[in-house]
Copies of this chain bind each other. A is one copy, B any other.
Amino acid sequence: MNRFLHNHLFRSVLSLNRALSTWNFPSNRRGFSDLPESWKSMTGLVRCPANDVPLSPISFLERTAKAYRDTTSIVYGSLSFTWEETYNRCLKLASAMTQLGISSGQVVATLAPNVPAMYELHFAVPMAGAVLCTLNSRHDSSMVSVLLRHSEAKIIFVDHQLFEVACEAIQLLEQGDSEPPKLVLILDSEHGSSPASLSSNVYEYESLIASGSCEFEVRRPKSEWDPISINYTSGTTSMPKGVVYSHRGAYLNSLATVLLGGMGSMPVYLWTCPMFHCNGWCLTWGIAAQGGTNICLRKVSPKAIFETIALHNATHMAAAPTVLNMIVNSPVSDRRLLPNKVDVLTGGSPPPPQVLAEMEEMGFRICHLYGLTETYGPGTYCTWKPMWDDLPSDEKSRIRARQGVHHVGLQEVDVRDPETMASVPTDGKTMGEIMFRGNTVMSGYFKNQKATEEAFKGGWFHSGDAAVKHPDHYIEVKDRLKDVIISGGENISTVEVETVLFSHPSVLEAAVVARPDDHWGETPCAFVVLKEGCNTVTAQQLIDYCRDRLPHYMAPRSIVFQDLPKTSTGKVQKFILRERAKAMGSLS
């Protein structure tokens, strides 16, 4: 109790003591330069370490390590951690990286599926002051090599299944002039991998963590504008571009995504969306903010999804529409009854209303969102309103398929004429380009000032997506600008044609592209995958089906039954289909 005796003194001499005390703000006390002119002559306001801290997702983990100390952070097979353990492992990992020579602002790459190490690296890399570059785990060694060279990564963390790809990529690098990155191998006791004899420049993940210290002093960003990650675009048509995220943007988009997904305290989040993709739509950081549990899954299949939801009472997941399509078309034997409502964030491409309706019938609750790598993933979402609850199911799904309104982290999303920059009317008809403005828009394309400036022309980020604005201000994507078909001077939204094809009971997947035409300029050509056991449907039947439901000029003039080429994130690669359609020549 002696401890508090001095408070007695403290209390009585408080004013004197404080009045006489040396002003002891740290030396980086800043002035009032950015307070408004009218306040310049006024006193009393300061920016100092007590009230000015760079926003960073690192603070989510630090807070949660206290607030949710004993609760489960990560589950992977029989492996699980608490938030306190995760925090300590990240500290040790950050410490170990600095021992490997990583300095602030340098890039650390990863090549791995959704294993626990991927989650830990989302905190450990920024805590080491470094920049995280999560490479697509389906890239081949030559692409990995190109991106390692471009990013100048100093370390690459590699899942054991991708060890050869990474080694080959590094060998390709070594023919160049830059120093090759150190390689850290992530083994997987759950999948029976065991350490081989490792060469001198190769480290093992758990041993590396063991070599680090919990006493590591986090290398915080000096400014919240400091880069936290680089996300290379999928590069469907060109060289991937390195989209740079800041600590500030990551902090804000994480909270906005948590809010739009209706995540309360301690969600149980099933990782079906790749963490390498937009940092898992910022939910790598967001789940930590809410003290949730991350259920990691190496390989996504409908069976694994149903089993994992049942086993862990998962409350949330995120998945591209292709994954939802896999779920609704999965054999009944793979399915399980859901133990509770599961909120599913979906986005990445316009989801067919039929798929949304079937998901809802199975007990999932869909939150449809929209964004691009350049907007940290989620940028808008189809905010649901109670007044729509009693609409017929197909009407609900039609509404739910709209991309909606911008989330709370952005300033503005608009649909504008890309040439005049004029906002299109809210008539649900006039198409324009979707444009974004706000703090959750990328800092730019790494080492590509020209592309950055093009993307930000006129003070807006240009999405390249064509859309309309409905009377209630909800936007609806009609197409990629470059995918719009122009036939006889009329614009055709390929998404609208695909939606009709999807509604046919025999169609599993469909993608529509322009086929050159001597008479019309272009005509719609559909590539279709039929459901199992539906092989008797003919091209003409599908064309007729579309003609019954669309203006004549919008119906496909040709149908090709063929598997669809896709990116690793599940997007159909239309530029390949366009090449194929072009090779087919003119119909007329």
Contact = CB atoms under 8 A, between A and B. Distances in A.
B259 A44 contact: no
B439 A44 contact: no
Interface string A200-222: 00000000000000000000011
A391 interface: no
Contacts of A240: none
A389 interface: no
State the 5 A-B residue pairs at the shortest beta-carbon distance, nearest first: A38-B105, A34-B223, A49-B459, A51-B441, A66-B473
Interface string A450-471: 1111101111110000100000
A25 B447 contact: no
Contacts of A48: 456, 459
A329 interface: no
Q: How many copies does the complex hold?
A: 2
Interface of A: 1, 3-8, 10-11, 18-19, 21, 23-26, 34-39, 42-53, 55, 59-60, 62-63, 66-71, 103-106, 221-223, 225-227, 242, 244, 249, 255, 258-259, 262, 264-266, 289-291, 383-386, 404-406, 408, 410-412, 417-419, 430-431, 436-439, 441-454, 456-461, 466, 472-473, 481-482, 484, 486, 489-491
A45 B443 contact: yes
Counting chain B CB atoms within 10 Å of each CB, which of A226, A242, A385, A404 scores highest?
A: A385
Contact of A443 (B38, B51, B411): B51
Contacts of A456: 25, 46, 48, 50-51
Contact of A405 (B7, B35, B66, B450): B66
A398 B18 CA distance: 36
Given A46-B452, A264-B264, 16 more contacts: A6-B419, A10-B481, A11-B482, A18-B457, A25-B453, A34-B222, A35-B227, A45-B227, A46-B443, A50-B436, A50-B461, A51-B441, A67-B473, A259-B259, A259-B290, A289-B408
A547 to B, nearest CB: 20
Contacts of A473: 66-67, 69
B258 A24 contact: no
Given A36-B105, A408-B63, A436-B50, A21 B484 contact: no
B71 A444 contact: no
Contacts of A406: 63, 67
A329 to B, nearest CB: 31
Looking at A8, A289, A410, the one whose CB has the most chain B CB atoms below 10 A away is A8
A301 B66 CA distance: 38
A135 to B, nearest CB: 18
A180 to B, nearest CB: 19
A476 to B, nearest CB: 14
Contacts of A384: 265
A572 to B, nearest CB: 19
A419 B18 CA distance: 11
B459 A25 contact: yes
Nearest to A459: B49
Contacts of A223: 34-36
Contacts of A221: 36
Contacts of A242: 44
Contacts of A489: 1, 5
A232 to B, nearest CB: 13
Nearest to A56: B411
Contacts of A444: 44-46, 51
Contacts of A49: 437, 459-460
Contacts of A21: 454, 457
Nearest to A256: B255
A410 B7 CA distance: 27
A441 B68 CA distance: 23
Contacts of A70: 472
Contacts of A258: 259
Contacts of A244: 44-45
B405 A255 contact: no
Contacts of A3: 417, 430-431
B449 A43 contact: yes
Given A50-B436, A255-B408, A405-B66, A26 B104 contact: no
Nearest to A375: B51
Contacts of A26: 459
Contacts of A62: 412
A46 to B, nearest CB: 5
Nearest to A412: B62
A423 to B, nearest CB: 12
A481 B11 contact: yes
Contacts of A451: 44
Given A44-B445, A454-B18, A491-B1, A51 B461 contact: yes
Given A50-B437, A69-B473, A59 B446 contact: no
A251 B109 CA distance: 34
Contacts of A66: 405, 473
A340 B456 CA distance: 48
Interface centre among A50, A226, A482 (most CB of B within 10 A): A50
